[in-house]
Each structure stands twice: as C-alpha cells, then as structure tokens.
Amino acid sequence: MTSAPSAALTHPGAPDVPAGPALPDRRALPADADARPGAWPIGTDSFFQPRRAAFWLLVVLLANGAVYIAQLYWIGLRAVPITALLGLAVWALYTVAFVYLFRVLELLEQLPTAAFVLAFAWGGLGAVYLSAPANLAIQSLAAKLVSPDFVAVWGPALAGPITEEFFKLAGVMLIVLVARNQFPTELSVLVVGAMVGLGFQVVENLSYTVRAAISFPIENQWLPVLLNLVTRGLLGGLWSHAAYTTVASFGLACAMFQTGRPRVLRVAMAVAGFAAAWAMHFAWNSPWLEDRFPDTRWGLAALLVVKGLPVAVAAALVWRAALRDEGRHLQALAAYLVPERELLSDDEWMRLGSPLERLRVRREIGRRHGRKARRLKARLQREQLRLVMKAGVYGRGARTERHELAIRRARARLDGLSAAA
C-alpha cells in the first residue's frame, strides 16, 4: 500500500476530522490506507453463521418463540376473531410507520435487511417467549413473600423491567455476536436495539388488544383495538420498549467501542445503560403519580405524557450522541476514500451523520423546485451514504461503482431541474 493520503484529499472546515494519519479514534483508518480501488478490502460476515453457537441459539429461541406466539394468537383468534384480525392489521401498519420513519432518517442504511428482520423477530418472538414465564414466576414469588395485594399493584413494575429489558438486550448481544463486523459504530448497535424494542412493543400491544376484547364489558370487538391504539400506540408509543432498549443498547455500544477506556469503566457503562432502561420501565409500570390525575380519559392521557416525557428526552440524548459519533466516523471515511467534490461536496460532507439536517435540505429543495427535485435529492443523499459506508468496508472499486454512477446521474438531473426553475 502507498502512504497515507495528504491533507489535500480531506474536506476543509471540519476540525473534528484531522487530515493525514492522525485520525484519533478506534475506527480511524490505518496510516498506510489509501483510496485506491481494492486498497481497503475488509468485507463483512453474513448473518448466516452455522459454525457459531450464537447463531444456533438465536435460531432455536426464535423458533420456540414463533410457536409460542402462534399458539397465543390462535387462542385469541378463536375467542375474538374480529379483534385478532383487525388488531393484527392495525399493529402491522403501526410497524410500517416506524420503519418509514427509520427510512426517512436514513437509519435503515446502517445494516442489511436481515439484521432488522432478526432484531424485530427477536423482540416480538424470542424476548416475549422468554420473558412471559419469567414475569409470572417473579410475581408468584412476590405474592408468596409479600402478598397478592402487593403484586396486584406493584407486580408489573417489579417483574417487567427485570425480565423484559434483560431478554431484549440479550437479543441485541446475540445478533451482534452472530456477525460482529457488521457493527462498526455505536449507531449500528442502537438501530438494532430500537428494532428489538419495536418488535416487543408491537407483539405486546397485539396481545393486550386481544385480551382487552375478551374481557371487554360490552359486546364490541373493534373498540378495544381503537382504545389500545390510542393509549398504547399513540400516547405511549414514543416512550415504550423501543426507547428503553435504545438506551440499554447505547450502554452496550459504549462498552464495545470505547476501547481506550479501562475495562471496568466500559462494563460500568453497559450496566448504567441497562439500569437506566430498567428505571424508566419501572417508573412507567409503577402506580406512581396515578393519584395525582383524575380518573378520566384526559387524566389518563396527561399521566401517560408526564411519565413518558423523561423517557423521550433520555432516548433523544442517546440518539444525538450516537449520531454525532456516526458523523465523525463517516466524515473520516469520506475524507480518505471519497475526496471527489462531484461525488460529495463540502456541505454534503459536513452533513454526513446528521439525518435531520439532510431532511431539512430535502424539504428546502422540494419547496423551491418541487417534489421531483426533493425525491432526487433524497436519492442522491442515500447513494452518497451508501458509497461512503461501502467504501469503508471494501474500498473503492467494483462494489462502489454503481453508487458513484447513481450519484452523478442524480446530481445531473437535479442540476437540470434547478437550472430550469
């Protein structure tokens, strides 16, 4: 290999990314790396790893979880068929809405589709399958040691955070162990954690919807779906399991990537992330503050918002920290491997890892030049992100040529629209 690229290959105006071989963190490119095609052949593992124990453990637990959930759903389908079918459709659309949000924020570019499918499946199948009997065991033990009345009030807060947060995070760890080099940054771990939490959240909401219909005081099978969608989906969706597992996964990611810190401190980071997720889940499940709000629909809505806002703030801070780290990582890769300004201009380089800024630019272009221009800008940004990430894995060459071509075509068409306006 040749010597490191000179400062002339880097983009100006970004003090976080030094030029030359002095890139400072654990993901910095080696000093002898360059941007020639084939000079950076790392590659990644697939998620099909039959020689790894983590793969088979994941497969077995997912299979058992699928059987368990199918049996529960069949029972509900026979008892309240309209609720079961309508609930399945509603919560499926709810999932699509979250996935669309991930796509708009370009988070789906972090990993292959298999990773997101495995993560969602683990949350909805594996984690639910493992945590349900564990919850019952903890509550039964508490009823014997304390009292049934205590369990009726505090049982969900006592059992749920312990078992559910542990098994969700265990799934994140298993998926990472199956294909470790698919996860180069904290953000790549965070998106898996969020998808695991979303899977758990959706399956749990479907279960609560069916159970509510079975015990509903009037003969109505669609109203429980609407009520659960409003309370558990709209009023509680932003600060539920997806947020908890995101926070716990951030602690795990810090322990994985901040290798310059002492091992004791890294373990403490992982424990702190789990403890924060546990505490937020415990507060949500507990009866705290319930006596401060009236027993009405508006009182319930206010209670859910007051309990949920701290969770939303914590999750937002975690995402912000991970995105800033991701931005530094992508800028470092682009500075070495994508120096051409026609592929990645200086302002576009500065916005790498800033989904909200990139979204703002798309909207501004759409406002000025129409929807077609906005779609072209979105395509341009996605291809730039894919180019940088793929170049960081394989180097510049055959695997990145189609992204380079797509960028040039999108930019030419976008320039044509801008000139015609």
pLDDT of residue 149: 94
Which two structure tokens, joined as six digits, stand for 124?
A: 């909805």
pLDDT of residue 160: 94
Question: Are 260 and 384 members of one domain?
Answer: no
Question: Are 199 and 280 members of one domain?
Answer: yes
Our count of domains for the chain comes to 2
Boundaries of domain holding 367? 347-421
Task: Choose the final residue of a domain: 329, 362, 386.
Answer: 329
Which two structure tokens, joined as six digits, stand for 34?
A: 């360059």
Please state the three-class secondary structure of the chain as a single string. Answer: CCCCCCHHHCCCCCCCCCCHHHCCCCCCCCCCCCCCCCCCCCCCCCCCCCCCHHHHHHHHHHHHHHHHHHHHHHHHHHHCHHHHHHHHHHHHHHHHHHHHHHHHCCHHHHCCHHHHHHHHHHHHHHHHHHHHHHHHHHHHHHHHHCCHHHHHHHHHHHHHHHHHHHHHHHHHHHHHHHCHHHCCCHHHHHHHHHHHHHHHHHHHHHHHHHHHHHCCCCCCCCHHHHHHHHHHHHHCHHHCHHHHHHHHHHHHHHHHHCCCCCHHHHHHHHHHHHHHHHHHHHHHHCCCCHHHCCCCHHHHHHHHHHHHHHHHHHHHHHHHHHHHHHHHHHHHHHHHHCCCCCCCCHHHHHCCCCHHHHHHHHHHHHHHHCHHHHHHHHHHHHHHHHHHHHHHHHCCCHHHHHHHHHHHHHHHHHHHHHHHC
Query: Can you tell me the distance from the alpha carbon of 331 to that of 389, in angstroms, rounded to the nearest whole number?
Result: 10
pLDDT of residue 45: 82
Those residues whose C-beta lies under 8 Å from the C-beta of residue 354, and which sit 6 or more positions away, are: 323, 327
Question: Are 294 and 229 members of one domain?
Answer: yes
Report whether 331 contacts 25 (CB < 8 A).
no
- Report which residue type is found at 206: L
* Residue 30, domain member (yes or no): no
* Residue 334, domain member (yes or no): no
pLDDT by residue, tens only, the chain of 421 residues? 333 333 333 343 333 333 333 333 333 444 333 433 333 444 578 899 999 999 999 999 999 999 999 999 999 999 999 999 999 999 999 999 999 999 999 999 989 999 999 999 999 999 999 999 999 999 999 999 999 999 999 999 999 999 999 999 999 999 999 998 899 899 999 999 999 999 999 999 999 999 999 988 888 899 999 999 999 999 998 899 999 999 999 999 999 999 899 999 999 999 999 999 999 999 999 999 998 999 888 998 999 999 999 999 999 999 999 999 999 999 999 999 999 999 999 999 999 889 999 999 999 999 998 999 999 999 999 999 999 999 988 889 888 999 999 999 999 999 888 777 6
Query: Can you tell me the distance from the alpha carbon of 243 to that of 249, in angstroms, rounded to the nearest whole number?
Result: 10
Which two structure tokens, joined as six digits, stand for 176?
A: 């990472």
pLDDT of residue 416: 87
pLDDT of residue 29: 42
Task: Choose the final residue of a domain: 329, 361, 389.
Answer: 329
* Residue 23, domain member (yes or no): no
* Residue 250, domain member (yes or no): yes
pLDDT of residue 122: 98
pLDDT of residue 283: 95
Task: Choose the final residue of a domain: 329, 356, 374.
Answer: 329
Which two structure tokens, joined as six digits, stand for 174?
A: 């298993």
Question: Are 412 and 312 members of one domain?
Answer: no
* Residue 251, domain member (yes or no): yes
